[in-house]
Chains A and B, each alone.
Chain A
Amino acid sequence: VIRYTLTRLALLLLGLVVASVLIFVTLRVLPGDVAQVIAGTNSTPEQIDAIRQELGLDQPLVAQYLDWIGGVLRGDLGSSMLTGTPVADELVEKAQVTVPLGILSLIVALVVSLPLGVLSAMRRGRADGTFMSVGAQALAAVPVVWAGMMLVVVFAIWLGWLPAQGFPRAGWEDPAAALRALALPALTIGIVEGAMLLRFVRSATLQAVGQDFVRTAAAKGLTRDAALLRHGLPTVGLSVITVLGLQVAGIIVGAVVIEQLFTLPGIGRMLVADVSARDLPKVQGELLVLTSFVLIVGFFVDLVHRLIDPRQREAA
């Protein structure tokens, strides 16, 4: 197990280095830079050059990369070129919106997918089971933006129960208002992600039904459903944990899109704003944190999976 952990850790570090290079290079391919944005539409080339020099944009790219990554290794994510604010501070502030949004979305996704997925597998072949699986198929194919707009139309505009966009200026000092503001966005991401998860739970359950130990349990006198629930579900749970790693990535992407739609002042909206101002040090820091988060979640999912699955333990 230790050797496995070390190999995975090495892979994780390699992944992070590759990600940092990719992030850095991809952003440099974008046309335009922050000096042009600062100088605007009434500037001379000399002005732009002077600002570039001031910001260190005239340094060679390799030097800029090493400068950045050196800072990251010392725990410094860098600062915004526009405001001078440290990237870490900004991330912490915006995370107050994005992290609760992600957690709420995940809860919605699990609440939707687990019972319905198992149920639709058990009801396979019957009308309601088929309906659930077709419904999930359709929902999983829906873009989050569309789902969000439909929810806004129904819950914010027709029924008037929830706010259509925005986040209370007081933030979490007014928890009720903050939760209400996050309700529709979390529901949007949760339903779409949940529909994808539902399909996965269903097929994992179906697989479990076919397993020897479930059939044996059924043969020993349990009903098929009871056998499935008692002996099959643990294996389903295991598969779900594996796929949750992927879901986290899906939820992060969903949050970036949904924060635009609901004008939530979170990490997603900050990221888009920073790209369109070409505040690259900030974008780099933000992307690196998000990527690391997904990679680290994947790392732990692998570890947990290995620790709790008796079959894998023995194989090692």
Chain B
Amino acid sequence: MLRRTALAATALLAAGALLLTACTGGGEPAQTTAGSPDPDASVAIRLVLEPGNLDIRQTAGAALDQILVDNIYQGLVARTPEQDIEASLASDWTVSDDGLTYTFTLREGVKFHNGEDLLPSDVVWSLQTRKATPEWRDSARLANVTSIAAEGQVITLTLSAPDSTLLWNLTGRAGIILKQGDKTDYQTKANGTGPFVLTSWKQGDSITFERNAEYWGDAPQVAEVVFAYIPENQAALNAALAGDVDVVTGFDANLKGQIEATGDFALELGASTDKGTLAFNQTKPPLDDKRVRQAIRQAIDHEAIVEALASGQTQYGPIPELDPGYEDLSDVAPFDPEAASALLEEANAQDLNLTLTIPNFYGPTVPTVLVSNLNDVGITLTVDSVDFPTWLNDVYVNKDYDLSFVLHTEARDFENWANPDYYFTYDNPQVQDLYAQSIAATDEATAEDLLAQAARIVAEDHAGDWLYNGSSVIAVGSNISGMPSINVNERLNLAELAKSDG
């Protein structure tokens, strides 16, 4: 019954979308109107996924990093949209040649949002507590750090072994600096050092930031940013058409014509580290057979998926183009249904029945293509659409699945392929060894090269499939400038955001 209702709803939604298309005309996007930035401006940004709570210390999920890191909370270093590392609370830093000593100079005159000063002891306390508290996110990323000390404004981190990922990790949760002994209720409030102050969270609706007038750097050009959480793209489109939002992130590129028809919005596509990851449970037959996994990969028309999404690009290995260690691996599993059928025959695995477990917030596009593609080579795919906690429990924790689809948005997360306990169920000591070497490398080029070698092995083992490398799809109002477009599911740094009154 439920399923029937859902089907009917889908059909009706499709009909509704068609009706919408029928009554909005074409038209060119308007040119950006030149006007001066309005210092009192409030910018409303549509986001998709609302965080369950705001606890930056403990609660997982890109929904928190996306808005809280950089804007509210900061570390010694930060990452640019181009994924380079830049100074933040530290004005500069040096790394010793042996990669064992990191020295940071802490900025002076930095204040937390509650008015307290940032002290060197806060930095030491934050990093030490993070390292010592396993429940806190990314605690393990500080594993190699043996001591954290402050002398004046100089903060020194000493490592037991080189870690080529440390600086990057310090731009994320692992490096966030909090006020020592802070009594802030982190679940619903925030107290950081960033350019914005969190003023309200209306659960189920929106989060509001205000300009931090006391910011140590250049204060934001807008007075207020409102993040409006609207899960459905159609509803987001309506909100944009009604003028309720100035920016739409996480948009569907297929709706480009409709949103640009207003003349008030332009669609932008930015690179991202979103990886549409098809995981294979390779601990049991038939997916423990590499030929079966290869057959599935070669049966899937990746170009067709990218076309159906109207955004993104193909990705044939575990590392996306934006991350270090990327290389084009399309030669490893080219689309070839005949070769796929032959492989299945060779593996004596015809007439397979497999189940795809997929969290229910992903649309029907990917499962539809998969069902059809796999059907062409004689694999019957059943789609099991479940809510996210069920996916976490069944797939992530208990590894009880055949195939699973999840969009992994995290940047530089190759480590999961080197972790045999991860739900990917991929266990190759050679890959684990190469990854360990890449971490231990003291220069970037070596680290990248080792990652690329490991990634090629993962791809050649057909340890999983990468259905697409997503784009950040955003529609930006013509009076808005300074809106980042790269990897916005992961980070939405709004320091440059401005709204013109013209």
Contacts and interface: CB of A to CB of B under 8 A. Distances in A.
Q: Do A and B form a real pair?
A: yes
B232 A263 contact: yes
Among B55, B202, B205, B238, the most chain A Cβ lie within 10 Å of the Cβ of B205
B53 A82 contact: yes
Contacts of A165: 230, 235, 238-239
Contacts of B391: 32
B263 interface: no
Nearest to B389: A32
A214 B205 CA distance: 55
Interface in A7-52: 30-34, 36-48, 50-51
Contacts of B231: 263
A273 B203 CA distance: 10
A198 interface: no
Nearest to B226: A169
3 smallest beta-carbon distances between A and B, as pairs: A40-B60, A32-B389, A32-B393
B437 interface: no
Given A43-B60, A83-B203, A153-B16, 18 more contacts: A31-B390, A36-B393, A42-B413, A47-B134, A51-B135, A84-B187, A94-B204, A149-B12, A158-B23, A164-B242, A167-B205, A169-B206, A263-B231, A263-B232, A265-B202, A265-B203, A265-B205, A273-B204
A28 B396 CA distance: 19
Interface in A157-189: 157-158, 163-167, 169
A51 B58 contact: yes
A99 interface: no
B387 interface: yes
B214 to A, nearest CB: 26
B99 interface: no
Interface stretch (A62-70, A238-246, A275-283): A275-283
Contacts of B134: 44, 46-47, 50
Contacts of A85: 188, 203
B86 interface: no
Interface in B32-80: 50, 52-53, 55, 58-61
A204 to B, nearest CB: 30
A302 interface: no
A237 to B, nearest CB: 34
Contact of A36 (B5, B12, B205, B397): B397
A301 B253 CA distance: 52
B389 A166 contact: no
26 contacts: A31-B390, A34-B389, A37-B388, A37-B389, A38-B55, A38-B60, A40-B59, A41-B396, A41-B408, A42-B137, A44-B134, A83-B203, A85-B188, A90-B203, A149-B12, A153-B16, A153-B19, A163-B242, A164-B238, A166-B230, A166-B235, A169-B205, A263-B232, A263-B235, A265-B203, A273-B203
Contacts of A288: none
B52 A157 contact: no
A146 interface: yes
A90 B390 CA distance: 25
Contacts of A40: 59-61, 392
A43 B206 CA distance: 28
A156 to B, nearest CB: 7
A34 B59 CA distance: 10
Given A40-B60, A45-B397, A143-B8, A166 B239 contact: yes
B11 to A, nearest CB: 10
B427 interface: no
Given A41-B408, A165-B239, A278 B389 contact: yes
A145 interface: yes
Contact of B204 (A48, A84, A270, A278): A270
Given A31-B393, A265-B202, A39 B242 contact: no
Interface of A: 30-34, 36-48, 50-51, 54, 80, 82-85, 90, 94, 143, 145-146, 149, 152-153, 156-158, 163-167, 169, 263, 265, 269-270, 273, 275-279
A165 B245 CA distance: 13
A275 B387 contact: yes
A58 B388 CA distance: 21
Q: How large is the interface on B (under 10, 10 to 19, 20 to 34, 35 or more residues)?
A: 35 or more
Given A153-B19, A265-B202, A269-B204, A164 B387 contact: no
A285 B230 CA distance: 25
B210 interface: no
Given A32-B393, A270-B203, A276-B388, A83 B238 contact: no
B323 to A, nearest CB: 16
B95 interface: no
Contact of A42 (B60, B135, B421): B60
A90 to B, nearest CB: 7
B6 to A, nearest CB: 10
Contacts of A273: 50, 203-204
Contacts of B239: 165-166
B9 interface: yes
A259 to B, nearest CB: 9
Contact of B244 (A38, A42, A166): A166
A167 B185 CA distance: 28
Contacts of B19: 153, 157
B390 A277 contact: no
A45 B231 CA distance: 30
Interface in B7-34: 8-9, 12-13, 16, 19-20, 23
Contacts of A146: 8-9, 12
A76 to B, nearest CB: 19
A278 B393 CA distance: 11
A159 to B, nearest CB: 11
B321 interface: no
B349 interface: no
A153 B20 CA distance: 8
Among A32, A43, A165, the most chain B Cβ lie within 10 Å of the Cβ of A32
B226 A145 contact: no
A31 B60 contact: no
Nearest to B230: A263
B220 to A, nearest CB: 20
Given A41-B60, A50-B135, A165-B238, A83 B53 contact: yes
A41 B406 contact: yes
Contacts of B289: none
Interface in B417-432: 421
A269 B229 CA distance: 12
